[in-house]
Structure 1
């Protein structure tokens, strides 16, 4: 799939006006005093295609429109987006939650028809969330033509009376239709995970990112992978909805209820936003990934020449292996929604498998049978 079909490139902004698993990050210094620099994994393989650091002193209205993509009101709450609650100061974008009696006001911006993206992208922002009961912070995206589902929530943070330690968790979700048909809410599904970075996300900035590839979607916080999604139904549904546009907003009363008897003024603060696309890559660096589309596990193995194989995983809870000399890798693959892949350099010279498999190399789907070369020197792979 041609990456450039999905990305409308914009230069650096110069501005004119479900039951969830919880993942914990490692202890680290405050993101305020030691900010994570951001950027995708293997950063030398990517290039920034859009960036806004909000240093111009006002909102770049050639890129951002105030409101959600569909307007300034929403069916999920009584919040109205108003320009005065969208502010740019001190090099940061701010959304302020206020009310005048029962009239609830807040801020939101979107890039519909200006900055859009799809598979082959890394999207990220550095954010500090507003902390108040009923405040729902979000950095998310949906199809540019306004169909729904699907939806990618890079990050959300909310505070309701049923949320456990809301200031210490962020939430990362994918919304999709199991039919994979964009706009089919009759088969709507939601997968997500709660993440605990180790401090108060309403007091400290963190970098929230999502890597969208043809064969996987990975959520990140401060460069740490939170969850890898590889279910073929999810990926197909997302791909069929592309291109997506970006949204940042502070919704109020969509989750929980804010107290109208108190004065508000808390802010969701955005330090910067970036969108990356693959840049020039070395000819010998590749990513190899396998899954089984069926109900039965399958086995696979592959050999490289002129290079080595490395398992791309932070844990070892998979039935994968790499040979001692580093030239052969393989394992048992299932239809699980979170399987790692392999990185390798050199040339893939042989592949073997037992069972039903789907193979991706550098985000392109490959015919597994075309990779088999039994004449390659070396011991049998399986």
Structure 2
């Protein structure tokens, strides 16, 4: 049996070659059609290109693109452009681009705490709808519409701010501000004390405060009335009205002679008695040394006075020593004192 033969099938060499050629032709046609279909089919989504002056750290091919927190596409290509710019190709899902047009703004933002970056599209002021192949130019005047908020940019900004702010001049300004604040400390303390005083006084009820102020106004009225009476009495003195010159002379004698003489006398007494007061110092020191422990001496003196009071009670005619003397057997004392009584 030939190699192309099959049991129970009548076939010859020519017929077998014909069938094999037809099968190969069909397979080749299918492969060519599938390849042509693949080449003609476009990828689903809206192709948009961003031309920017900078690319955020971590933005690569495959980076997710978000709008309003929802993933709407990804980065398909990043290529250099003229004058140092870059082109970022995006593939977006046009069914999720609600409210986004060619006035949109771009943020390079971290997607999570690990610093993985993503592109965030933000709504702009309003423009034309996005179409396939749209190129958004963020160079020149629109460069401010691209904001880099990636972790690397934040760290660089922090280092630049630290280098520009933490300078010797800033340290001098802080020291001067601290010194000025310290100079105002007494004023602040006084304000705090005044505020505390006001707060403490506010604990009293307003009616009670007015009630306490009432007698004060009453006393003020009485004082004013008494002052007027005193002035009236001074004006009513007959000596002032009839013999004003003699009164003026008496006042001049008191103020011009008596008081200056008294001042001089007291001044001389002070200079003369200064030595005497100096002599009192050793005496007082000796008295202090005589009583080294005042509390103990006071207690002992109190105990001594109490015992004297018990020993000499008051019988109505004065203190009398409470003592009994046995003179029996002593005739020399018993006869004169007791008159011979036993």
TM-score interval (norm. to shorter):
under 0.3
Query: TM-score if structure 2 supplies the norm length?
Result: 0.23
Higher strand share: 1
Query: TM-score if structure 1 supplies the norm length?
Result: 0.21
Higher RCO (C-alpha under 8 Å, 6+ residues apart): 1
Structure 1 or 2, whichever has the larger Rg, is 2
Higher helix share: 2
